[in-house]
Chains A and B, each alone.
Chain A
Amino acid sequence: GAVVSQHPSWVICKSGTSVKIECRSLDFQATTMFWYRQFPKQSLMLMATSNEGSKATYEQGVEKDKFLINHASLTLSTLTVTSAHPEDSSFYICSARRLADQETQYFGPGTRLLVL
């Protein structure tokens, strides 16, 4: 149990376009999902915390108008990178917590974004 999927696994887009990444908890309900960004050979950087039915909480320095997060159901959260630029190229990873466990985070496989 505790499987988290992400779609797409990789995406290449032109500068100025918007890209949507989906994060789904496949076999459990998740009231809270998290979005991370990871640069090569670095640790995970938390971008925002997404709670079902409410606005996401963004970390300091993360532009909420650029990284739009929607958590419309207990199994789906989406991250939209708006007007993407080459500096937005990165590995984006989501995680989810079960309803019954307020500590453990289960991670998705990640989405690699390349903005040309």
Chain B
Amino acid sequence: GENVEQHPSTLSVQEGDSAVIKCTYSDSASNYFPWYKQELGKGPQLIIDIRSNVGEKKDQRIAVTLNKTAKHFSLHITETQPEDSAVYFCAASMTGFQKLVFGTGTRLLVSP
């Protein structure tokens, strides 16, 4: 089955810096890769996703890149703000299969 690894487990940056979180997946058949942000005591919120037919997707300060050959994808947050502080989860799935397989999460702390 699919296995998703996520790094780093914690990431501390200064406000205004960029943050990068990386995930690798094992099953080359996976073709959908969402990223979720989870604040303390809340449910995960979808922030961006990418499908395997594109290599990059951007939404304001957030971007995701996908390297299908290497089977890894990354979340890039530019101009970080304290409100970006949260736990971020990557996930992978295949169209036609129901389950999302989640990474272990990255705790991002943005210091003012």
Q: CB within 8 Å of B: which residues of A?
A: 4, 6, 32, 34, 42-44, 46, 49, 57, 93, 102-110, 112
Contacts and interface: CB of A to CB of B under 8 A. Distances in A.
B100 interface: yes
Interface in B38-55: 41-46, 49, 51
B95 A107 contact: no
| SS of B interface (majority) | loop
Interface in B12-71: 32, 34, 36, 41-46, 49, 51
Contact of A103 (B32, B42, B102): B32
B46 A43 contact: no
A37 to B, nearest CB: 12
A93 B44 contact: yes
A23 to B, nearest CB: 10
Contacts of B45: 107
A106 B89 contact: no
A44 B95 contact: no
Given A103-B93, A107-B36, A46 B99 contact: yes
A104 B51 CA distance: 11
A43 B89 contact: yes
